[in-house]
Structure 1
């Protein structure tokens, strides 16, 4: 889809992204399925709102069109420059790489496969579904995972972790990086952020694949309904045009 000008995509599927109202304070740069939801909830409890999470790419307030353009910039050689001091970073990781891979395959793996199915058809009739497909299936997953998560997922995971470490070291900002896993709990996270450990509060639980799928289905239902409605309108329009053409053609027989 990169061959279609952005102006045409915006005209067909344009959305109005939300605007940031608070300065960025923390970047959590771990790959999806590395306790990102647990960390998000923990940061909320500690008073850091709003945290942008993978769910924000498909749940309201919705900004996937803007994310798509940022990804295009990121993956254009020589087009990504770091011109300001990096916010403090949390590199959230999974200690069990095989478990991470299995979790990704059971969730994000759908976007890696990008099947031409009923959802694919509906994506052309709803802006939100279009940008989910455009961003996740056609841009992020194939580019980040070098063409295939199934083949390259584990290697890319290791490369990403090392890249973050190297970047902060080269900038002399190792002290602004926290490597953290969910097993570490509140202690290291609160110390790094200068926050008190919440008393009597367990660290937020995870986001297992089944719960992930159910939440996606539940919260995107309105998009699918809108797509079906637009498909019906489009189909009725096509039938109407054909009817007019047939009628006019009949007049000349």
Structure 2
């Protein structure tokens, strides 16, 4: 583990993850990789059975991490890998962050029809993909309480953002910390990491409202998902097959026997 991106969600976490890949960090675990690749470890951690050794094992061959849940556990990861550098991505202000975050979540809900069918969608998600439902529920609870269902709860969202940033600023050794706004581009990032500024490569801008990685993921257009989409499809297929076997086949047999077809 070389780089821990401790920035709160929607502070440029997707952009910084892509920037690290461009700079040569080949194994960068972002939001989807945490579940698709590291899900077993995170389940143990969320269940209260985790330890620092889990982080050492989970990230022993990983170059960098970004976004939740890793950003929430940045202190534990730093304890496991004390020589790592920490990047705290921040927006221009707390107000800018809140407006951007709230607008983004609202956009996702409306784009994926969650605004109208959210309760049905979560029920089906829990029924047919229980392991992923449990994981994402734990991630959202750890990162934002229960706020994703109500992105307009301004006071609580601001409080989460403020407390997280203050915790990083107070707890991380200054010599290992870079406070970074993605608007600053390559120069401060490369200087902090001891890397050359990439030639003819503009600093990446990922996960904007009109290019949401969540929407792209469900549409099968996500570049880096760690195999998450295929694993979710497999679990969905298995659950649907089980449901079909339990409910549809017995009903078919009963009807056939009633009609004398069997």
- The aligned counterpart of 2:102 is 105
CA contact (8 A) 1:123 1:227 kept: no
CA shift for structure 1 position 132: 3.2
- The aligned counterpart of 2:157 is 153
Map 1:68-79 to 2 at 5 A.
68-73=43-48
Please, which runs of 5 or more residues in structure 2 have no aligned partner?
A: 52-72, 110-114, 221-227
- Cα 1:167–1:73 change in 2 (3 A) is farther
Choose the corresponding residue for 2:243, options 230, 234, 243.
234
CA contact (8 A) 2:41 2:50 kept: no
CA contact (8 A) 1:42 1:203 kept: yes
CA shift for structure 1 position 141: 1.8
- The aligned counterpart of 2:189 is 189
CA contact (8 A) 2:2 2:83 kept: no
Q: Is 1:121 matched up with 2:118?
A: no
Relative to the length of structure 2, the TM-score reads 0.66
Q: Greater shift after overlay, 99-108 or 204-213?
A: 99-108
- The aligned counterpart of 1:216 is 217
CA shift for structure 1 position 48: 1.1
Q: Is 1:63 matched up with 2:27?
A: no
CA RMSD between the two structures: 3.7
- Cα 1:227–1:75 change in 2 (3 A) is same
CA contact (8 A) 1:32 1:54 kept: no
- The aligned counterpart of 1:90 is 87
- The aligned counterpart of 1:18 is none
The separation in 2 between residues aligned to 1:108 and 1:167, in whole angstroms, is 29
- The aligned counterpart of 1:15 is none
Please, which runs of 5 or more residues in structure 1 have no aligned partner?
A: 1-23
